[in-house]
Amino acid sequence: MITYLVRRLLAAAGVLVLVALLTYWIFFALSPDPAVMICGKTCTPDRIDQIRATLGVDQPFMTQFFTFLGGIFMGRTYGSGEGAIECAAPCLGFSFQTNQSVLDMIAERMPVSITIAVGAAILWLLIGVSAGVISAVKQGSWWDKAAMMVALSGISLPNYFIALVLQYVLVVELQILPFPSTPAFGEDPLFWFQSYIMPWSILAFGYASLYARLTRANMIDTLGENFVRTARAKGLSSMLVLRRHALRPSLTPIVTMFGMDFAGLLGGALITETVFGLNGVGKMTSDAISKNDQPVIMGVTLMAALFVIVGNIIVDVLYTTLDPRVRTKVA
């Protein structure tokens, strides 16, 4: 177990370095000179050179990359003398456009993204899984057909479209909900809830649709298994057959998917946050992209990759406790 984990973590570190290298290469080598962007239009060549030196972009690519990697572990200093900027370890970079370290920016906005992700996840698991189970059990019924129609629309309709429609109807026209903002829960619980309910629902709708279809398919497969027939032949109640014998094998693959989806969402719900103007990691990323704030994009990309990789490892380890066949082999 320990050696397995060490192996997985080493592999994860390797993947992260590769992701970093690729992202770094794409943004710093292919996009316009960041120094020019920062300096603005009325800029002398001298000034540009100075900024370039501060950013370190006058160095060759690999040197820049290793400086960046070094910053993560040891911190780094931008420029020198009076105007030097300290960025303590772990330094994910420094945004000269906002004059903030990228890590601080992420940390500031993380609570909003976590709130969105957790709320949406609870909703989509509850709705998606139960809808899928009911559909499988009542396969071919009007409920099944209706639920799968809704699920299909949830998968096909882009969520920015639903978000805009909802926002218009509920907030602008009917004025049932206030314009969403990002208050702390303690300040005004009702306003907190009203602000988040739309983004939660929008995100949950898409995922729930996917989960409902997957749960239904898994469940129908499992219900056809011989061991379900055995359970019935034992005289167990249909509820017990369903809950104990059919549900657990059907849900195990869902756990894998959930781990990945949830980890992905922690990296920010880009579209939903932007549409509702919620100041989470996703909105920050979309702002950074529009302003070409490369250190921020770089930092968020790395962090999102980290979440997904860690999520993946957690799911794999969890799987061994969920499926006894993975845990133990023939004695």
Partner 1 sequence: MSSVTEAVSSQALLEARNLVREFQVSKGGAFAGTETFRAVDQVSLALHAGRTTALVGESGSGKSTTARMIAKLLDVTSGTMHFEGEDVTRASDATLRRFRANVQVVFQDPFSSLNPKHTVDRIIAAPLDYQGIRGVDRRVLVKTLLERVGLNPDHSSRYPSQFSGGQAQRIGIARALAVEPKLVICDEAVSALDVSVQAQVINLLRDLQQESGYSYLFIAHDLAVVRQIADDVAVMSSGKIVEQGTTAQVFDNPTEEYTQALLSAVPVINPEWEVRRQQTMGRIA
Partner 2 sequence: MKNLDAAGSNSLLEVADLEVSFASSAGIATVVQGISFTVARNETVGIVGESGSGKSMTSLAIMGLLPPKAKTTGSIKLHGEEILGASERHMRKLRGNRMAMVFQDPLSSLNPYYTVGMQIAEAYKAHRGGSMRAAKLVAVDAMGRVGISDPQRRVDSYPHQFSGGMRQRIMIAMAMCCEPDLLIADEPTTALDVTVQAQILELMSQLQNESGTGMLFITHDLAVVSQVSQRVLVMNKGKVVESGTTEDVFSTPQDPYTQALLDAIPRIDDPIRALKKVEMGMVSEA
Q: Is 327 in the site for partner 1 (CB under 8 A)?
A: yes
Q: Is 320 in the site for partner 1 (CB under 8 A)?
A: yes
Enter the tokens of residue 264. Answer: 């992905």
CB-based contact 26:292 (threshold 8 Å): no
By a kind-dependent CB cut-off of 5 to 8 A, residue 237 interacts, out of partner 2, partner 1, none, with: partner 2
Q: Is 323 in the site for partner 2 (CB under 8 A)?
A: yes
By a kind-dependent CB cut-off of 5 to 8 A, residue 104 interacts, out of partner 2, partner 1, none, with: none
Nearer to partner 2, 183 or 249 (CB): 249
Nearer to partner 2, 209 or 222 (CB): 222
From the list 253, 19, 238, the residue with the least C-alpha distance to 138 is 238
Q: Is 325 in the site for partner 2 (CB under 8 A)?
A: yes
CA distance 39 to 83: 15
Q: Is 321 in the site for partner 1 (CB under 8 A)?
A: no
Q: Closest separation between CB of residue 4 and partner 1, Å? A: 4
Of the ranges 1-9, 92-100, 156-164, 295-303, which one interacts with partner 1 (CB under 8 A)?
A: 1-9
By a kind-dependent CB cut-off of 5 to 8 A, residue 141 interacts, out of partner 1, partner 2, none, with: none
Q: Is 4 in the site for partner 1 (CB under 8 A)?
A: yes
CA distance 328 to 200: 39
Contacts of 8 (CB under 8 A, 6+ apart): 313, 316
By a kind-dependent CB cut-off of 5 to 8 A, residue 30 interacts, out of partner 1, partner 2, none, with: none
End-to-end CA distance of the chain: 18
By a kind-dependent CB cut-off of 5 to 8 A, residue 245 interacts, out of partner 1, partner 2, none, with: partner 2
Q: Is 328 in the site for partner 1 (CB under 8 A)?
A: yes
How crowded is residue 91: how many other Cβ atoms within 10 Å of its Cβ?
Answer: 23
From the list 76, 116, 127, 109, the residue with the least C-alpha distance to 271 is 116
From the list 11, 26, 104, the residue with the least C-alpha distance to 294 is 26
From the list 261, 264, 268, 226, the residue with the least C-alpha distance to 245 is 226
CA distance 171 to 296: 32
Chain residues binding partner 2 by CB under 8 A are 225-227, 229-238, 240, 244-245, 248-249, 323-325, 328-331
Chain residues binding partner 1 by CB under 8 A are 1, 3-4, 320, 326-329
